Amino acid sequence: MQTFHTINGLRQALAAERAQGKRIGLVPTMGNLHEAHLELVRTALSSCDIVVTSIFVNALQFGLNEDWDRYPRTIEVDTHKLEDAGCHYLFHPSDSEMYPNGLDTQSRVICPTMTDMLCGASRPGHFEGVTTVVTKLFNIVQPDEAVFGLKDYQQLAVIRRMAEDLCMPVKITAAAIHREPDGLAMSSRNGYITAAERPVVNVLYNTLQEIANRINEGNQDFSALEGEGKKRIQAAGFRVDYLAICNSRTLEPAAIDDREITVLGALYTSAARLIDNVSLTLENRG
């Protein structure tokens, strides 16, 4: 695996690969890699000849009082993990390489839909930072395919819409959520969970799964299901950020005739904010 810290260096290497007709895949990350990230790399390897993984802790998507300063930076360990997974190129730029004119005057990419709800309501400006850095990465790497995890469902939906709106020639692939044995979705922020919280924090996934099961059984009282779910999470000792039953494509509140539904939730532990989701496809009962 080769590591590049500059845009020009990476572009030159990829131009040579592209000239040979190689299909290029991109896995954007912020580092502190775990098994779920490596699964994204493997997914990309299954359909691409060359895989580029980026590691960049993007300050533009962190809001005030968020954890940019203390976000784990484990580049040496990450590098070894990527090598073992079969990644071909690591792109690890500095802040000044990605934002040479500074953050204050950086041109932004704004998706006007799906970004002010759910995680967007709790993290103003977050998705503007995501769409901007992903657009930059797409322009730098020019991948044929980019792989994102389903855990960040809203992020995936926003990126898909952005790519569609801007006619980006990139296939957006979703990789399944990688879970711990008890169902907890793997996340870099799981390291912030305390020993006392760990045995019960999977209440988020269990609650979303229970709601999905009840919808599948015919319960269409979405408001009541959301309310019951929030109470269950609160009873476990956590503060609910949101719990919502949504149309899978638009993320608008689900209607009773929607067939593609995603149940999304976020909670706060003492030191972390965790997100998860469960999707289901309903048979046409008409």
Rg (CA), the chain: 19
Q: Which of 197, 279, 205 lies closest to 238, judged by CA?
A: 197
Catalytic residue selected from 5, 34, 37, 178: 37
Region class of 177: left (phi > 0), else alpha (psi between -120 and 50), else beta: beta
37 is catalytic: yes
Structure tokens at 259: 């067939």
Structure tokens at 149: 């995890």
Strand 239-247 relative to strand 89-91: parallel, antiparallel, unpaired?
A: unpaired
- Asked if residue 89 lies in contact with residue 2, where contact means CB atoms within 8 angstroms, the answer is yes
Q: Which of 34, 73, 76, 41 lies closest to 57, judged by CA?
A: 73
Cα of first residue to Cα of last residue in the chain, in angstroms, is: 54
- Taking the C-alpha atoms of residue 129 and residue 28, their distance in angstroms, rounded to an integer, is 14
* Residues acting as catalytic residues: 37
